């Protein structure tokens, strides 16, 4: 029954050669992306962009599931087919972002806590009816001289665990995403330290709140140098430290780790995932749940021009093929 289904969905999302497309940008975030190509963020333009992605030839060979936003999961393609049906027909599992965004943390306003627990049980029941089989909740952890505080790690882990428990109650696989941001000038070892602390706190909370590890996925950042750090770690160092960090903090019962790209270039996100998978003999499947790294090239190739839809779709399928190769540790730049 339900639990068996959730474990199978979690495994299907991290099947060999496949990973997740994050297309769940909130209305504010998608507006920023469309601005890059000079497009106003109207509901129709947002629909056209997502339709380009979801109808790209061959994309289902590399994409196991798509994370949708509230607007998108209710949207229809131009020919009237609901996006959820279109994805299901292609063999791609529909998912839904259910958090309501990161807000200033009371008592420590430079840090953030993710909101969205109120009414979540009811929203999950509705999304399950619409067809969502998995969900995402993102906590945001910033690195600064005296941040993150234990307070910030604790409340975010508590919320992630409450969300995950509610998802499993609703027969929806939770993707648990504690994102340690790569902004800042910290080095890779500081990222290692904060990512370890965040993961330990998250798994303690998941345990307390009785979340079934076989029925969830973890969506973390890689262990990586801050964007403004003068020394940038190589792919080999990123892979070695990422794997060591996760081996020490993530139980083997978790079926899969799906990395976010977090502002890395398309090429870096691909090369680093490849280096991680080349280490081999990992206790979990190690795959991707990329937003920007899968979409950026396609967005540029499309440029919002109807005549460029094919070019956008080819760029998307091309990047998805490379990331899929990296997920299996057989990418060559």
Query: Count residues contacting ligand 13P (CB under 6 A)?
Result: 10
Position 50 contacts ligand 13P (CB under 6 A): no
| 219 belongs to the catalytic site | yes
**Comparison of 166 and 260: residue with beta carbon closer to ligand 13P:** 260
Instruction: Quote the least distance from Cβ 22 to ligand 13P, whole Å.
Output: 3
Within 13 Å, how many C-alpha atoms sit on residue 20's CB side? 37
Q: Closer to ligand 13P by CB, 19 or 255: give it.
A: 19
Name the residue nearer to ligand 13P (CB basis): 99 or 215: 99
Using rule CB under 6 A, residue 260 touches ligand 13P = yes
Angle between helices 120-130 and 150-169 (to 10 degrees): 50
Asked if residue 188 has a cis previous peptide bond (ω within 30° of 0), the answer is no
How would you write the chain as a 3-class SS string? CHHHHHHHHHHHHCCCCCEEEECCCCHHHHHHHHHHCCCCCCHHHHHHHHHHHHCCCCHHHCEEEEEECHHHHCCECCCCCEHHHHHHHCCCEEEEECCCCEEEECCEEEEEEECCCCCHHHHHHHHHHHCCCEEEEEEEECCECCECCHHHHHHHHHHHHHHHHHHHHCCCEEEEEEEECCCCCCCHHHHHHHHHHHHHHHHHHHHHCCCCHHHCEECCCCCCCCCCCCCCCCHHHHHHHHHHHHHCCCCCCCCEEEECCCCCCHHHHHHHHHHHHHHCCCCCEEEEEECHHHHHHHHHHHCCCHHHHHHHHHHHHHHHHHHHHHHCCCCCC
Of the candidate residues 46, 186, 241, 292, the single one contacting ligand 13P (CB under 6 A): 292
Q: Are 51 and 19 in contact (CB under 8 A)?
A: no
Site for ligand 13P in 261-290 (CB under 6 A): 261-262, 290
Using CB under 6 A, which of the segments 4-12, 107-115, 146-154, 256-264 binds ligand 13P? 256-264
Nearer to ligand 13P among residue 226 and residue 262 (C-beta): 262
Give the nearest distance from C-beta 97 to ligand 13P in angstroms.
7
76 given a catalytic annotation = no
List binders of ligand 13P among 119-158 (CB under 6 A). 138
State the minimum distance, in angstroms, from the CB of residue 1 to ligand 13P: 30
Q: Residue 219 CB, nearest distance to ligand 13P (Å)? A: 7
Question: Could you tell me the smallest distance in angstroms from the CB atom of residue 321 to ligand 13P?
Answer: 17
Q: Does 63 bind ligand 13P (CB under 6 A)?
A: no
* Catalytic pick among 18, 97, 219, 241: 219
Binding flag, residue 22, ligand 13P (CB under 6 A): yes
Minimal distance, residue 292 CB to ligand 13P, in Å = 3
**Scanning residues 80 to 109, which ones bind ligand 13P (CB under 6 A)?**
none
* Residue 218 engages ligand 13P in binding (rule: CB under 6 A): no
3-state SS track over 107-125: CEEEEEEECCCCCHHHHHH
CB-wise, 120 or 260, nearer to ligand 13P?
260
Q: Which of 19, 291, 297, 312 binds ligand 13P (CB under 6 A)?
A: 291
Does 293 engage in binding with ligand 13P (CB under 6 A)?
yes
Choosing from 177, 179, 215, 285, the catalytic residue is: 177
Query: Which residue number, 192 or 290, has a Cβ lying nearer to ligand 13P?
Result: 290
Please, are residues 203 and 251 in contact by the beta-carbon 8 Å criterion? yes
Active site residues: 177, 219
Residues binding ligand 13P (CB under 6 A): 22, 138, 177, 260-262, 290-293
């Amino acid at each position: 029954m339900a639990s068996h289904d959730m474990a199978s969905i979690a495994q299907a999302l991290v099947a060999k050669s496949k990973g997740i497309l994050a297309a769940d940008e909130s209305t504010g975030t998608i507006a920023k992306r469309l601005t890059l190509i000079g497009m106003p963020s109207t509901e129709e333009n947002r629909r056209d962009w997502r339709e380009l992605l979801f109808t790209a030839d061959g994309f289902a060979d590399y994409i196991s599931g798509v994370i949708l936003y509230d607007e998108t999961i209710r949207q229809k393609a131009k020919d009237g087919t609901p996006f959820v049906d279109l994805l299901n027909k292609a063999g791609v599992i529909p998912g839904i972002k259910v958090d309501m965004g990161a807000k200033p943390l009371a008592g420590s306003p430079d840090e953030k806590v993710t909101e969205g627990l109120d009414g979540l049980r009811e929203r999950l029941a509705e999304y399950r009816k619409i067809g969502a089989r998995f969900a995402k909740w993102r906590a945001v952890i910033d690195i600064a001289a005296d941040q993150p505080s234990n307070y910030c790690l604790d409340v975010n882990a508590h919320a992630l665990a409450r969300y995950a428990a509610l998802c499993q109650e609703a027969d929806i696989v939770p993707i648990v995403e504690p994102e340690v941001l790569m902004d800042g000038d910290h080095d890779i070892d500081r990222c290692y330290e904060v990512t370890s602390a965040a993961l330990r706190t998250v798994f303690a909370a998941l345990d307390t709140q009785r979340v079934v590890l076989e029925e969830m996925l973890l969506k973390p950042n890689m262990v990586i140098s801050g964007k403004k750090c003068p020394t940038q770690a190589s792919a080999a160092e990123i892979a070695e430290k990422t794997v060591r960090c996760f081996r020490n903090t993530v139980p083997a019962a978790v079926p899969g780790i799906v990395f976010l790209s977090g502002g890395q270039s398309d090429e870096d996100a691909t090369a680093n995932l490849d280096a991680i998978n080349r280490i081999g003999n990992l206790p979990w499947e190690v795959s991707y749940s990329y937003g920007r790294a899968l979409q950026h090239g396609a967005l540029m190739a499309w440029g919002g021009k109807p005549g460029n839809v094919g070019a956008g779709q080819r760029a998307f399928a091309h990047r998805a093929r490379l990331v899929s190769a990296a997920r299996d540790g057989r990418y060559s730049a």
